[in-house]
Amino acid sequence: MDTRTRQFCCHQFSGLRSVLLSDGFKDRHRRSKKHFVRTRSLPFTVVILLILNMLKRSLQDELDEFFRMLEGGDVADRLVSKGAFSQARKKLKHTAFIELNDYQLTSFYEHGDVLNWQGKRLLAIDASMADLPDTAEIRSHFGVWGSRHGKSCPKARLSQLFDVLNKVTVDARIAPKSFDERSLANYHLDHVGANDLLLMDRGYPAFWLFKAILAEGAHFCARLTASKWHAAQSLLDSGEDDRIVTLSLADTSRKLCREHGLDDSPITLRLIRIKLPDQEEMVLATSLLDRATFKLADLQHLYRKRWPVETDYGFMKNRLQVENWSGRTVEAIKQDFYATVFAKNTAAILAIPAQKVVNEQTQHRKHRYQINMTNLFSKMKNTIVLLFKRSRIGHLINRIWKQMINTIEPVRPNRNFKRNKKFRHKNYKYSYKPIR
């Protein structure tokens, strides 16, 4: 790996370490000025590093192994009880992980080797549901999902603004299930700028949301449901592939625009017809009106680039086990979620330069190859703590990169699989977590 890339990664972790150790950071993210004052076994920084270390096994076993790793011991002695950790994490705000992630991403976009599409940052918005521990506090805060068979269960709505080319989450939210997808998407717009292009599935298109995106100076490309948008159905009926239309706002849309402080003037969109592999046709609406710059063929492939945001939820749930919560309080749920987002972004940023080396080394092969991210996250356990604890990490980062470059998988394009709607979701039993 070249010296510049290594220096960037070392500088980024040096900056994160400085933020973590600063008095201002502790003051902003502890619940009271009385908290984390005395010297104890679980000071402020240690509690944060513990949660960042992805606590998925038996909590006591995780604690024993964590301190064995820090002390460099041969046997995992009992230094901290799980009760002490549970009390310590109550003093911490989940916002600490959000600030660390914001710092990491700001550094990456300013100094990292960032990928883009025709000069634009390609962002996708998508949401998902998450199972939660069944406690009265969590039910009251997040809400429950009814069931025709058996009792209701608590659920949270997850939403993220995802950079599909660089595989990082720009902004994430975990909210009560009563929040709809569009409302959460509106919160993400605080992180959207003039050089961004947003990709959205068919659940998102709305006049007011299109207006809100344009108000940020950004662009969008969204799938329309023909039965709900007369202009989309008209395009399908016409046989045309590309049409520019100007749409006036209905009374309901005009009211929503005013509620969000947006103007209610007509909106001009470009509609694109796309034929899917199963011969079904869909319509995309985009604000990229310049046909000379953004050709029809380019836009037909653009929407497919949003797929990584879908697979990222699968990765978080199945590989990172985000629903395997380490606590049973609302604050613990939020800490786990935002810590997972930070750890995931850390691995993704480290993987970008390694992927470039893989591309160069495998360019002569039949298939394109990519880093095995599951293996990488397995190696990040404990390693992410050492990246914060050690003052010199160049050698450690080189070892991580070597592991990535040596553990790769082929990418086989144009494969399509039907969704398994009978898939049984895995439940994580809090009382029966694995010890290894």
Same domain, 288 and 393: no
Per-residue model confidence as pLDDT tens digits over 339-355: 999 999 999 999 999 99
Same domain, 155 and 281: yes
Same domain, 305 and 169: yes
- How many domains, the chain? 2
Domain assignment present for residue 109? The answer is: no
Same domain, 156 and 90: no
Q: How far is CA 425 from CA 148, 170, 222, 378, 421, in A?
A: 17, 27, 29, 22, 10
Same domain, 393 and 249: no
Integer-rounded Cα radius of gyration of the chain:
23
Same domain, 182 and 282: yes
Same domain, 79 and 121: no
Domain assignment present for residue 296? The answer is: yes
Domain assignment present for residue 142? The answer is: yes
Residue 395 near residue 387 (C-beta atoms within 8 A): no
Residue 216 near residue 189 (C-beta atoms within 8 A): yes
3 state DSSP class of 77:
coil
What pLDDT, on a 0 to 100 scale, did the predictor assign at position 122?
A: 97
Provide the 8-state DSSP code for 423. P
What pLDDT, on a 0 to 100 scale, did the predictor assign at position 110?
A: 93
What pLDDT, on a 0 to 100 scale, did the predictor assign at position 145?
A: 87
| Range(s) of the domain holding residue 254 | 117-309
Same domain, 137 and 245: yes
3 state DSSP class of 165:
coil
Same domain, 375 and 237: no
| Residue 165's pLDDT band (cuts 50, 70, 90) | very high
Boundary-marking domain end, from 244, 277, 309: 309
Same domain, 400 and 251: no
Domain assignment present for residue 421? The answer is: no
Q: Can you list the alpha helix ranges (DSSP code H) found in 177-329?
A: 181-188, 207-215, 230-238, 251-259, 296-302, 307-314
- Closest Cα partner for 267 from 283, 284, 285, 255? 285
What pLDDT, on a 0 to 100 scale, did the predictor assign at position 416?
A: 63
The secondary element (H helix, E strand) that includes residue 99 is helix 95-111
Residue 384 near residue 346 (C-beta atoms within 8 A): yes
* pLDDT tops 90 at residue 200: yes
Please enumerate in sequence order all residues whose Cβ is within 8 A of that of 192, keeping only pairs 6 or more positions apart, or say none.
Answer: 123, 161, 198, 213, 216, 218
Per-residue model confidence as pLDDT tens digits over 216-254: 999 999 999 998 999 999 999 998 999 999 998 888 888
Per-residue model confidence as pLDDT tens digits over 23-76: 999 999 999 999 998 877 899 999 999 999 988 889 999 998 898 888 777 777
* pLDDT tops 90 at residue 77: no
What pLDDT, on a 0 to 100 scale, did the predictor assign at position 113?
A: 87
- Rounded CA-CA distance 357/198 in Å is 29
